[in-house]
Structure 1
Amino acid sequence: MVTEQASSAPVQAMAQEFVQFAVDSGVLRFGQFKTKAGRMSPYFFNAGLFDDGAKLGRLVQFYAKALLASGIEFDMIFGPAYKGIPLGAAVAVELARLGKNVPFAYNRKEVKDHGEGGSLVGAPLQGRVLIVDDVMSAGTAARESIALIQAAGAQAHAMAIALDRQEMATEVQADGLVRDLPHSAVQYVRQTLRMQVCTIAQLSDLLAFLQTRAHKHPEWSAQLAHVQAYRERYGV
């Protein structure tokens, strides 16, 4: 049975540390940002800005610690193109450093017709596969990765992401209009696809971070109010 990720004091402390790290790195920003669903979000998380060795190394320490704390078992890692490729590779390196050495593979979006050919690179997909990515929005990328893994005869077993936005997923209807769904992409993966999902932090952790800062520094109050209002409108 797939259940929500367990929460504990160490896990919550790590989530707060991660949010602080993301803010300090400029990866988590506040303002007005348009999402793929057309929503105006008061915050934006861009993992592509973990753009040097020190930041990437610190990031994958969080991934590895969250995975080990989750108790999720897996046989190999898959990094979906494009952001998932460096993330998956670096997480595999960090896990090996911590004593858990597993194979790693990734896909390319352009199928190669020479050399080894195909769209998959790295270790053969087999066993229980962990998909490593940055965030999940509509769940489309997750479904694409799952299809690739299943086509290779392996099991798409779990996902690891940095931030769960905890907001309603969307669906494009036949008339082209976007419809809000009553569940988040993470909930869809857990409940419908029956996969485990490991997250470093959630929107609730971001709110807790902002609440702490707003008590000490009033200038954070406006950001807290904006994020709370967004959660009330789109949260699940």
Structure 2
Amino acid sequence: MESYKQEFIEFMVDCQVLKFGEFILKSGRKSPFFMNAGAYVTGAQLRKLGEYYAKAIHEHYGDDFDVLFGPAYKGIPLSVATTIAYSELYGKEIRYCSNRKEEKDHGDAGILLGSKLADGDKVVIIEDVTTSGKSMEETVPIIRAQADIKIQGLMVSLNRMERGKGEKSALEEIKELYGFDANAIVTMEDVTEYLYNKPYKGNIYINDEMKEAIDNYYAQYGAK
């Protein structure tokens, strides 16, 4: 596993974005872990988060894109932080773009925030986590309605590796449905492998009991 991925796992734990215990998800599933990207609240945290996204995006897409699109609302700070980090790390200016939940009809009218999209633009979508692919049902039509663009792919922070609407993971379903790549900075398999019985700052976040709970969860809800 790349060192930046190991650092990102520790970063999620440090920021209390990734927690272990018993949680009820929006889907109704009872999960032994939970991720809340809303827990990134400081400038230093957002700056570091942007760097991790930038490194993962560069690994998967190189410089072959023009715009980072962050769907409202959580995707907005992600796209801003990552465009800044990408410029600093790789010396290429990437534009950021997001959507409004409601189209504005005065002043800076329209549904977009940030850069406009133009014919020929190559776009990478950036989100926190995708469990069902529902957000793509809203986001992809908005992007494709703006111009003759190409969506290079989707980058999320954590691949939960659980079933979407069918037997495959949400990211795999997105690949098949929309025809573009979908990746994550880390997978839950990476997290489990890295933290299992590993002391970190005085705690063992995934001990034998938690590992069993995670294994049982994936036996029931894991993607095939």
CA displacement 1:18-64 (0-9 Å, x = unmatched) = 11111121110111111121100110000110110111111111111
Aligned residues: 215
Per-residue deviation at 1:77? 1.0
Local SS of the residue matching 1:209: helix
Q: Which moved more, 1:139-148 or 1:63-72?
A: 63-72
The corresponding residue for 1:106 is 98
- Counterpart amino acid of residue 25 in structure 2: T
Counterpart position of 1:76? 67
Aligned CA distance change for structure 1 residues 91 and 24 (closer, same or farther; 3 Å): same
1:200 is the counterpart of 2:185? yes
**Corresponding residue of 1:4:** none
Distance 1:94 1:58 in 2: 8
Q: Which amino acid aligns with 2:169?
A: S
Deviations 1:174-200 (A, max 9, x none): xxxxxxx11111001223312112311
Higher alpha-carbon deviation: 224-233 or 45-54: 224-233
Partner SS, residue 29 of structure 1: strand
2:85 pairs with 1:91:
no
Distance of aligned partners of 1:79 and 1:25 in 2 relative to their CA distance in 1, 3 Å threshold: same
1:146 aligns with 2:140: yes
Q: Is the 8 A contact 1:149 1:155 kept in 2?
A: no
Cα distance, 1:192–1:110 mapped onto 2, change above 3 Å = closer
Contact 1:168 1:185 in 2 (8 A): yes
Counterpart for residue 191 of structure 1: 176
Secondary structure of the residue aligned to 1:15 is helix
> Quick one: which amino acid aligns to residue 70 of structure 2?
G
1:201, 1:107 → 2: CA distance? 26
Q: 1:102 to 1:47 in 2, by over 3 A?
A: same
Instruction: Please give the alpha-carbon distance, in whole angstroms, between the structure 2 residues aligned to 1:189 and 1:132.
Output: 14
CA contact (8 A) 2:155 2:183 kept: yes
TM-score when normalising by structure 2: 0.90
Question: Counterparts in 2 of 1:195-234, with a 5 A limit?
Answer: 195-213=180-198, 217=204, 220-234=207-221
Which of 22, 25, 44 in structure 2 is aligned with 1:35?
25
Q: Distance in 1 between matches of 2:197 and 2:21?
A: 19
Counterparts of 1:21 and 1:136, CA distance in 2: 19
Q: TM-score, normalised by structure 1?
A: 0.85
Where in structure 1 are there 5+ consecutive unaligned residues? 1-8, 171-180
Deviations 1:149-206 (A, max 9, x none): 1101222221111000010013xxxxxxxxxx11111001223312112311101112
Alpha-carbon separation, structure 2, partners of 1:109 and 1:200? 26
Q: Which has the higher contact order (CA 8 A, sep 6+)?
A: 1
| Distance in 2 between residues matched to 1:131 and 1:93, nearest whole Å | 16
Residue 167 of structure 1 is matched in structure 2 by 162
Identity across matched positions, percent: 35
Identify which of 109, 112, 137 aligns with 1:117: 109
Cα distance in 2 for partners of 1:63, 1:89 equals 11
Q: Distance in 1 between matches of 2:8 and 2:82?
A: 16
Q: What does residue 49 of structure 2 align with?
A: 59
CA distance in 2, matches of 1:107, 1:100: 23
- Residue 132 of structure 1: how far off its partner (Å): 0.8
CA distance in 2, matches of 1:96, 1:65: 11
Which consecutive unaligned segments of at least 5 residues does structure 2 have?
none
User: Relative to structure 1, is the Cα distance of residues 218 and 204 closer, same or farther in structure 2, using a 3 angstrom cutoff?
Assistant: closer
Root mean square deviation, CA, Å = 1.8
